[in-house]
Amino acid sequence: MNDRLMAGPPEPEIHTRRGFSLIWIVPLIALLVAGALFWRTLSQEGPTVTVTFQSADGLTAGQTKVRHKAVDLGTVERIDLTPDMSHVVVTLRMRAEAARVLTDQAKFWVVRARFTPGNISGLETIVSGSYIEIDPGVPGNATKRNFTGLEAPPAIRSDEPGRTFVLNTSRLGSIATGSLVVYRGINVGEVLGHDLVQPGKPIKVHVFVRAPYDEYVHEGSYFWDESGFRVNVGADGFQVQVESLQAVIAGALAFDTSAGARDTPIAKADAEFRLFPDEATAKASNYTTRLPFLVYFHGSVRGLAVGSPVELFGIPIGTVRAINLALNADDASIEVPVHLEIQPQRFTPGPEMPQPELMKTLQRLVDGGMRAQLKSANLLTGQLVVSFDFFPGAPPAHVEMQGPNIVIPSQPGDLENITRTLSDVAAKLKAMPLDEIANNINSTLKAVNGFANGPDLKSALRSLSGAMEGAQDLVKRLDAGLTPALKRLPDIAAQLQGAAEKVNHLAGSVESGYGDSSQFQRDLTRLLTQVNETARSVRLLADFLDEHPEALVRGRTGSTTER
């Protein structure tokens, strides 16, 4: 027992158990998940690109997304200023699937709420925040990593079907980027922009027409400015054209194709057209054949302008191309040569007339009195038109060629004739001895004034006044004296009528006693006739004097005689 105590405690026996502990599963799983996430991040992470903008407004590093059709393709990694501090450089960490669209055709811009005259976009960013949109462009181009961002969204996207065209114009007017392109009132495209204006050259405006309306643009189509609100003061008076509200605000272009040009080929992409100021001018462009005419006027052409219509029987057949002044050194006279552009296609369709036959036809028309004359198209605006009319009494004239121009004789205009007539009247008035006539009239008036204010006329008027007063007194006395007699005339006429009736009764008795053919019967008949006539005359006299008592003094006048 002591030996055991001296020896100490026994050595422990260590048993090693070989095997895998389940506790290691948790870190292994975490390691695998981290590795998978790391591999996924590495596999999905694409290239890094930089985009230069003028401002970083609305962009936040680590938050702002890069999207295409609402799908995230990257994130803004950092934002820096350029060395001159004029722009910002935005570094984008793109996803791997975006690598193939990062070509020289790709476009970047910031989508934010925008309010322009012709469009309102990006309203959803008020809630979600701004983001960067990418338009990949045409695939298969050269790879690119540094881009310059757009400050405004592009008018069209690369995947939108349609074609672009180029319009040439001398002035833009209200046309700007984003203006509408309409076809018969339907919005079919937009204005993409215009090239830098160069002196002496037309402005090139680029427009985009969406499919399928791009197939409606033929080589014979025409474009015009349809700005939405236009007031035209011309030969036809005031014309007001109003389109849609959007066209009024942002401006618009329109196009159409005439019936004769619909058989022409469909226009190719980037085909060039002329932009006309209005629809009427655009339609007139379909008349491709134009004949140069020249007319010399010898009076004022105020109100006539380049583009004024040329008419025949009130129907437009051309326009005024140029107006000049010419000095004739032979007789020191000044005349106004007006160059016209006649469109023969406006006449009834027919074969083109050879030059010799055309000259003969025009000469026959001139022999029949055809002349060019300036006429007022609108009295309110004072605009003139060149009108071809027939004047049978016009002096003989000849049609001739002057270079490429056909010279047609002219006739003084209506306004010029009025002016000449007024000038002739003024000349005649000037030739009249107006001063002498005025002196004679003044002398006559003085003589009349002296006679009117003289003592002889005043004495005569006083004498006439006294005579009139005496006549009035006489009439009053006659009226007072004759009134009783006039009142007795009806009684006298009645008594005579009664006597006549008694005599007639007596005549009837005598006739029965003496017979119809006795002398006494005849004498008695004449006596009765005279008595009847006397009674009738007395009645008429009584009625007449009752209505016209003044006849006893004045006698029977013309009016009383007729009665």
Which band of pLDDT confidence, cut at 50, 70 and 90, is reported for residue 560? very low
pLDDT at position 14, please? 60
pLDDT at position 511, please? 52
CA distance 275 to 171: 9
CA distance 310 to 341: 8
pLDDT at position 215, please? 92
Most confident among 119-128, 338-347, 474-483 (mean pLDDT): 338-347
Taking CA atoms, 352 is separated from 137, 312, 344, in Å, by 51, 19, 9
Q: Of the candidates 274, 291, 270, 294, which has an alpha carbon nearest to the alpha carbon of residue 283?
A: 274
- 514 pLDDT above the threshold of 50: no
Pair type for strands 383-390 and 405-407: unpaired
Average pLDDT over residues 83-98: 90
Long-range contacts of 557-561 (CB under 8 A, 24+ apart): none
Most confident among 73-87, 347-361, 548-562 (mean pLDDT): 73-87
Most confident among 35-44, 185-194, 427-436 (mean pLDDT): 185-194
- 340 pLDDT above the threshold of 90: yes
Helix orientation angle between 519-547 and 455-514, rounded to the nearest 10 degrees: 150
CA distance 271 to 263: 17
pLDDT at position 563, please? 44
Q: Is the peptide bond before 212 cis (omega within 30 degrees of 0)?
A: yes
- 288 pLDDT above the threshold of 80: no
CA distance 298 to 334: 7
Q: Could you report the per-residue pLDDT of 101-118, keeping only the tens digit for each?
A: 888 888 999 988 765 555
Report phi then psi at 144, rounded to 5: -145, 145
CA distance 33 to 39: 10
How far the first Cα of the chain sits from its last, in Å, is 198
Percentage above 90 pLDDT, the chain: 19
Taking CA atoms, 114 is separated from 118, 145, 291, 315, in Å, by 11, 28, 52, 50
320 beta partners: 340
Which band of pLDDT confidence, cut at 50, 70 and 90, is reported for residue 394? confident
Average pLDDT over residues 549-561: 54
Which band of pLDDT confidence, cut at 50, 70 and 90, is reported for residue 407? very high
Tokens (6 digits) for 438: 């005025």
Name the DSSP letter for residue 261: G
**3-state SS class at 54:** coil
Q: Of the candidates 300, 299, 317, which has an alpha carbon nearest to the alpha carbon of residue 308?
A: 317
Please enumerate in sequence order all residues whose Cβ is within 8 A of that of 184, keeping only pairs 6 or more positions apart, or say none. 256
Task: Tell which wins on pLDDT, 443 or 84.
Answer: 84
Which band of pLDDT confidence, cut at 50, 70 and 90, is reported for residue 12? low
CA distance 389 to 314: 9
Which band of pLDDT confidence, cut at 50, 70 and 90, is reported for residue 561? very low
Q: Is the peptide bond before 83 cis (omega within 30 degrees of 0)?
A: no
pTM (whole model) above 0.95: no
- 474 pLDDT above the threshold of 60: no
Asked which of 69-78, 181-190, 474-483, 525-534 is least confident by mean pLDDT, the reply is 474-483
Q: Could you report the per-residue pLDDT of 430-448, keeping only the tens digit for each?
A: 677 767 777 777 777 776 6
Task: Tell which wins on pLDDT, 533 or 94.
Answer: 94
**3-state SS class at 13:** coil
CA distance 165 to 223: 11
CA distance 339 to 321: 5
**3-state SS class at 103:** strand
Report phi then psi at 127, rounded to 5: -95, -50
Q: What is the mean pLDDT of the chain?
A: 76
Q: Of the candidates 181, 197, 201, which has an alpha carbon nearest to the alpha carbon of residue 189?
A: 181
